[in-house]
Structure 1
């Protein structure tokens, strides 16, 4: 299958793909297929069979779950050039959460069977996928510790910094985040009111500018001072 050179250019903006062996980069691009989702369209849902590995090229994916009572748990918004779906690659078990497009979204899809065949031929590559999963596991541990030890203000500041840095996947930090206050509250398991109070306080201090569906970081140092990063 002919690959689009723009795929590599986009994916090389991310630390994980950038540091893969060149032969593995080439193999993934050769196996990749483009996928396009409309806003609100599900890619997979909790309980679905494993279907492969994905990378976001444009747009974002909403990952979470909705209880039988209609309560939503939003784990994260996955943006370019992040990869996701690797858990089921390791255990072959059904999907743990729902993944749907937040807006119009373009993905690269590496089908499960093709990727498993590649790994069977080159088992040393398993370590690279283990690193992808371990990076996310580290973030989960940090989030759990912060939920237990930190107040709302530092948690909000730290999550904004993580999102700005693409959860460690990109160089530098974005200043304009396409993120609503409701989404941020859901990701942190905070009430909308508490999240709004923290954000308004940060805006009054000149650290942020709040807009419709977006948050602009004006004073990175102020956020970093409030975040009190936790190292694991």
Structure 2
């Protein structure tokens, strides 16, 4: 359906990619492999260790969340590639969703380990992945070492946003997060008791609803406002 020359041209016409330093562009161009999946094939599974960075070139991916809901990532008509998977770079946590092909799809994939190694060797490159995730969350994403500097409530709200908005715009009115997915020492650095207390406060404000070990996010706009801090607020 496509070839290396075509997908390279798509990358070179992508705004996020073209704003990267030439060295990072070269690393992605050389490190990403084209993969094809037929309809219904699994791309990644919930609980699977961080799998890396993806660029959807053609087709649609279907995501399933802990509440057994499934949501489509829209076909990238006029928007190729569609990047996803960068959230795991920040927390190194397993996938919180299942992802499988809705029809035949083509994507590019760079495994987690080489990207993490690249970022360890060149920390200045983090800001580019912060920008990519920030486009989806609708706020500034701090550098990884800054996230635990956020106040407690803002930190928990930010973590929930990462988990619920990290795949971009999905058409659903309610988003569900497993409590176990919250546990990221790198993003939270908080005890379970503190996280439970903050979730209770968010529930009292009708931003989330608890159902056993599931957290239903009821209002992403208010959750985004709860996450705002000098490190995350978009400057005018």
Measured against the shorter chain, the TM-score band is 0.5 to 0.7
CA distance in 2, matches of 1:21, 1:73: 36
State the partner residue of 1:122: 122
> Which residue in 1 is equivalent to 2:64?
64
- Partner of 2:62, secondary structure, is strand
Aligned length: 143
C-alpha displacement at 1:89, in angstroms?
1.3
Identify if the C-alpha distance between structure 1 residues 75 and 133 changes in structure 2 by more than 3 Å, giving closer, same or farther.
farther
Shift of 1:92: 0.5
The corresponding residue for 1:74 is: 71
Structure with the bigger percentage of helix:
1
Asked whether the 8 Å contact 1:54–1:83 carries over to 2, the reply is yes
Question: TM-score under structure 1 normalisation?
Answer: 0.55
Partner of 1:8: 8
User: Are the equivalent residues in 1 in contact too, given 2:66–2:96 (CA < 8 A)?
Assistant: no
CA drift of 1:87 comes to 1.0
What's 1:204 paired with? none
Cα deviation code 1:139-183 (max 9, x no counterpart) = 8xxxxxxxxxxxxxxxxxxxxxxxxxxx79xxxxxxxxxxxxxxx
Partner of 1:54: 54
CA-to-aligned-CA distance 1:186-212 (integer Å, 9 cap, x gap): 82339xxxxxxxxxxxxxxxxxxxxxx
> Matches of 1:7 and 1:74 in 2, distance apart?
25
Partner of 1:187: 171
Provide the residue aligned with 2:24 in structure 1: 24
Structure 1 runs, 4 residues or longer, greater than 6 Å off: none
Give 3-state SS (helix, strand or coil) of 2:171's partner: helix
C-alpha deviation, 1:62, in angstroms: 1.9
Q: 1:75 to 1:64 in 2, by over 3 A?
A: farther
Query: Deviations along 1:68-125, whole A, 9 cap, x unmatched?
Result: xxx5242643633111011111110011212111111111111111111211222111
What secondary structure, in the 3-state scheme, does the structure 1 residue paired with 2:74 have? strand
Cα distance between partner residues in 2 of 1:49 and 1:98: 12
Q: In the TM superposition, what is the alpha-carbon distance from 1:63 to its structure 2 partner?
A: 2.5
Superposed CA offset, 1:36-91 (max 9, x none): 11111111122111111100122121233263xxx524264363311101111111
2 CA distance for matches of 1:138 and 1:77? 19
Instruction: Please say if residues 60 and 77 of structure 1, whose CA atoms lie closer than 8 Å, have aligned partners that are also in contact.
Output: yes
Matched position secondary structure for 1:189: coil
Measure the CA separation in 2 of the matches of 1:36 and 1:128.
27
| Rounded Cα–Cα distance in structure 2 between residues aligned with 1:78 and 1:17 | 19
Gaps of 5+ in 1: 140-166, 169-185, 191-231
Corresponding residue for 1:201? none
Query: Contact 2:45–2:98 at 8 Å: present in 1 too?
Result: yes
CA distance in 1, matches of 2:50, 2:61: 17
SS at match of 1:36: strand
* RMSD of aligned Cα (Å): 2.7
